Amino acid sequence: MSRTNKIFFSLILVVGLYIAFLPNKFSQASFLNFLGKDNSNEIDQNETFDLQAFSKIPVLRGGRVKPLDSVARNILLVLRNKRTALRVLEQWENEKLELIQSLKKEGNELTEEQSKFLKNYSKNRKTTTPQGGIEVAVTEVDAIDWLAQVLFAPEKADKLKTFLIDHDQVLGLVNQKLLDNGKFFSYEELEPFLSNIDSSARKAGEVETELRDSFQQNIIELYRSLLIYKKLKHSLSPPTTPDRPEVLEQLGVTDLVYSEEKDRARSDEYVRFRKLTAELAKDSSVVQLGSEEFARVVFFVDRYNQANLWTEFLPIPPIIAEGDGKWMKVTESLVGSEPLESRQKQNMDPARFALTLRELLSLEKTELKERIAYIRENQKLDPSALFATQYAEAIKVKEGVDPVIIQYEELAFAYRDQNFSKFNRLVNEIYELTTTRAGSTASTLSFEKTFNGFEPFYRSAIAYVLIFIVASFSWLMAAFKKDSGTVRTLRNSAYYLTIIVLICHTFGLAARMWIEGRPPVTNLYSSALFIGWASVLLCLGTEKYIRLGIASAMGALIGFSSLVIAHSLSLDSSLNPTGDTMEMMRAVLDSNFWLATHVVIITIGYSTTFLAGFLGIAYIFFHIGCTISNKSENKMKKTLDSMIYGITCFSLLFSLVGTILGGIWADQSWGRFWGWDAKENGALLIVIWNALLLHARFSGIAKTRGLACIAIFGNVVTAWSWFGTNMLGVGLHSYGFMDKAFDYLMMFIISQLIIIGLAYIFPIIWKFLFKPKDKKLDNIDTLPDYDSLD
């Protein structure tokens, strides 16, 4: 290796390391953060909110205990398809910024306050967005910053641009134009149109999912986004029902309900409610219809039951003494939840309800708990008894107000008062308390938070582009400059770069497995991650022996595409309604053994088939290139031929074994080995196609070009069974109707068919146009191989 080459080689590797692991512009965390280096130590505890610490607090959403950081990111992903919100800068901010920047330019010394302002501002990425036809400066607000504002200072959050609307008719509905106001909107901007959105979405909801047009789908998505946002706002501070004063007066609860003037916090109301229930618990004789005391309790239980519906995550960790591991909503911790749907109350017999409740309240607490469990188990068809159990629970089982509620309220005060040290102290207290109560489920929280910021798949995707460029460059060098040293250096750099990126990609997969406690593939999103990973791994193995840069380039291409596909899948609202790509598994899929065997093996089958297909594409382009430059393709042809063949052998192995294992799983869970379900058929198509390729080669029907084309068509078959079958919306395997993806799938299929077409037509046209005198061209196989199959 020459000196320049050596320098170049090391430079490439450093860039690779920078993209894959080191602190950079692409992500918030680097591998240093995993080693215990915490950003929070850097900030002054008395001068800013320690949002990093805040983001680690555990809550339950989507059936999984996760840090607030994940909640914030996932929800923003649903609302805005990004992991940040946007804040339009105020006039004075813009002016001040300009002033400071001009001062700095002129070389003036900045005051401490000024430099802090500049630092704070430049921390986040700035862009512009159209507002009323003119571009205005906006700054990105981190997910956790946004969440803190939504929870503690909603009036501020309502001004942040949080909602993505990019459908022209939906924009029309909210009286906006894409050109004038962009596609991101704040809650404040949408508020005047809520009733319009609501009625349109309701109408659209009446149409069957498969038959909805794009407006209907988009309006429903917007409606859901707004609902999530509203629920999120109320997750820590339940809505207060807008009861009319005379109703409250009549019930005698005017002094009991929360009032902004008199009370400091909502928990004052909860404390008063607890007093009411404590009295009832002592003297159950007043439990009867028409009694004033009881009517008040009924009022509050109803109020809290209503509030139970308005929450996006469950903030109250399980009570250790209960030992049931049950997370709760704020109001749920006061009154529990309704055992049946509310409308079932119509079927209640009021007299028997009161009788049962009195009976229950006369029991001792431990006895009462047993009795409640008994009734819920054995009297499922008796609404009177069931609703009585909720009241008994609210009155006698639940005690006091959960300290976590009060701490969160204090946290909100500290946030609004900009009391940094108090906020940071409370954050630590809440973290301690909630993680202790959450127990082992909270063990991965801190890691998950750092993992979120590390964004290994985003880093990998960027690095794959670099690999592709380096590898392609090596071919260019090989074709035009016969400088074998440089070519070798480039290929080696691509190879070692692949190793670096693969470590990053592997780390991402392994981290997800650790957080979820599951094998790597659990849903469509993770299948995309895994397909990319397996392909790159296989390419690395191939490149180790055949250092031509082809496997590196194709691996990088597949790795990059699969990560982009994964990202778009995470944005698909039908596949991923909560924005969390680590969702819980449905009962029938909840089997780590089968997920680890069938799903992983079949996914490897997908990736190897894709790899063979992409090698086929590489060959076709090489073939065309040779035709144009009128060169012999002998050695390369042989190599690619054997690569396609070897990898297809793997494909057949994995897809066949995976499919058979799938059959065995189906036999275990649905009682039939094979049910001709769409997804099963898709997998079978891949098996047959791979078998067909091998047999076509054995029989000599297909030579290299035919083989390459069969392999390329394998891409079509695999794409079909990976996505197309999900779009059919039939069968047990279909997990969502994806219509947006349909166009992309079609484009992909057409592109593959065009390449196959080119492989056969291009040489003929070229020959016809230029009639090269060199006889060598005839060596390139012109056998009617692939065509003879149909």
Partner 1 sequence: MNNKKNKSSLSQRRRDFNFLLPLASLRLTIALLSLSMILIFVATLEQVRIGIRGALAEYFESFYGIWYYPEKFWGGEILQDIPLPIPGGYLLGGLLIINLTAAYIVRFQWTLKKGGIQLIHLGIILLLIGQLTTQAIQEESRMQINKGEKSNYIERFHGVELVIRDVTDPAQEKVITVPQELLQKGGSHSDKAMPFTINVLHFGVNCDFDFATAEKPRSPMAEIVNRGVGQSANLNLTPKEEDFSSDALNFGYIIFELLDKGQSFGKWMSISHPAGNQVWSQISPKLSDMGFQSIRHNGKLWGVALRQEREYLPFSIELLDIENEFYQGTEIPYNFESDINLHLEDNQTRRALVYMNTPLRHGGKTFYQYQMNDSANYSVFQVISNPSWLVPYIACVLVSIGMLWQFSLHLIRFLRKNSQTPQKA
> By CB under 8 A, what part of segment 286-315 binds partner 1?
313-314
> By CB under 8 A, what part of segment 320-339 binds partner 1?
326-327
**Binding of residue 691 to partner 1 (CB under 8 A):** yes
C-alpha angle 119-53-160 in degrees, rounded to nearest 5: 60
How many CB atoms are closer than 10 A to CB 248? 16
Q: For residue 553, give the nearest of 570, 528, 536, 568 by alpha carbon.
A: 536
Closest to partner 1 by CB, 424 vs 526, is 526
DSSP letters for 736-780:
---SHHHHHHHHHHHHHHHHHHHHHHHHHHHHHHH--S-GGGGGS
Closest to partner 1 by CB, 461 vs 712, is 712
70/55 Cα distance (integer angstroms): 8
> By CB under 8 A, what part of segment 383-422 binds partner 1?
none
State phi, psi for 695 to the nearest 5 degrees: -70, -35
CA atoms within 13 A on the CB side of 341: 2
| Member of 23, 62, 154, 239 binding partner 1 (CB under 8 A) | 62
Closest to partner 1 by CB, 89 vs 660, is 660
Closest to partner 1 by CB, 62 vs 154, is 62
Residues 6 or more apart whose Cβ sits within 8 Å of residue 370: none
503/476 Cα distance (integer angstroms): 28
564/528 Cα distance (integer angstroms): 9
> By CB under 8 A, what part of segment 79-118 binds partner 1?
none
> By CB under 8 A, what part of segment 725-754 binds partner 1?
725, 728-731
**Binding of residue 540 to partner 1 (CB under 8 A):** no
Order the strands of the 134-142 sheet from edge to edge.
Answer: 126-131, 134-142, 84-88, 161-164, 184-186
Q: Tell the smallest beta-carbon distance from residue 669 to partner 1 (Å).
A: 5
Closest to partner 1 by CB, 42 vs 790, is 790
Longest dimension (CA), the chain: 110
Choose the stretch contacting partner 1; rule: CB under 8 A; options: 55-63, 91-99, 178-186, 511-519: 55-63
343/387 Cα distance (integer angstroms): 12
CA 276 to chain CA centroid, nearest Å = 44
139 forms beta bridges with 87, 126
Amino acid at 540: L
Q: Tell the smallest beta-carbon distance from residue 549 to partner 1 (Å).
A: 14
| Member of 16, 57, 61, 556 binding partner 1 (CB under 8 A) | 61
Q: Tell the smallest beta-carbon distance from residue 643 to partner 1 (Å).
A: 9
Choose the stretch contacting partner 1; rule: CB under 8 A; options: 252-260, 406-414, 671-679, 736-744: 671-679
Closest to partner 1 by CB, 50 vs 785, is 785
Closest to partner 1 by CB, 465 vs 732, is 732
Closest to partner 1 by CB, 72 vs 361, is 72
Closest to partner 1 by CB, 456 vs 662, is 662
State phi, psi for 134 to the nearest 5 degrees: -115, 150
How many CB atoms are closer than 10 A to CB 240? 15
Closest to partner 1 by CB, 366 vs 699, is 699
Please give the structure tokens belonging to residue 704: 């290299």
| Member of 584, 624, 758, 780 binding partner 1 (CB under 8 A) | 584
- # of chain residues touching partner 1 (CB under 8 A): 75
C-alpha angle 684-688-691 in degrees, rounded to nearest 5: 140
> By CB under 8 A, what part of segment 606-665 binds partner 1?
638-639, 641-642, 645-646, 649-650, 652-653, 656-657, 660-661, 663-665
**Binding of residue 675 to partner 1 (CB under 8 A):** yes
| Member of 320, 670, 740, 774 binding partner 1 (CB under 8 A) | 670
> By CB under 8 A, what part of segment 694-723 binds partner 1?
695-701, 717
Closest to partner 1 by CB, 461 vs 719, is 719
Q: At what angle do helices 112-123 and 91-105 cross, to 10 degrees?
A: 110
66 forms beta bridges with 59
> By CB under 8 A, what part of segment 364-383 binds partner 1?
380-381
Q: For residue 559, give the nearest of 462, 453, 473 by alpha carbon.
A: 462
Helices (H), 670-739: 678-698, 704-719, 725-728
Q: Tell the smallest beta-carbon distance from residue 353 to partner 1 (Å).
A: 18
CA atoms within 13 A on the CB side of 786: 19
Q: Tell the smallest beta-carbon distance from residue 526 to partner 1 (Å).
A: 16
| Member of 583, 602, 648, 703 binding partner 1 (CB under 8 A) | 583
Closest to partner 1 by CB, 308 vs 460, is 308
**Binding of residue 272 to partner 1 (CB under 8 A):** no
> By CB under 8 A, what part of segment 466-485 binds partner 1?
none
| Member of 50, 140, 677, 785 binding partner 1 (CB under 8 A) | 677
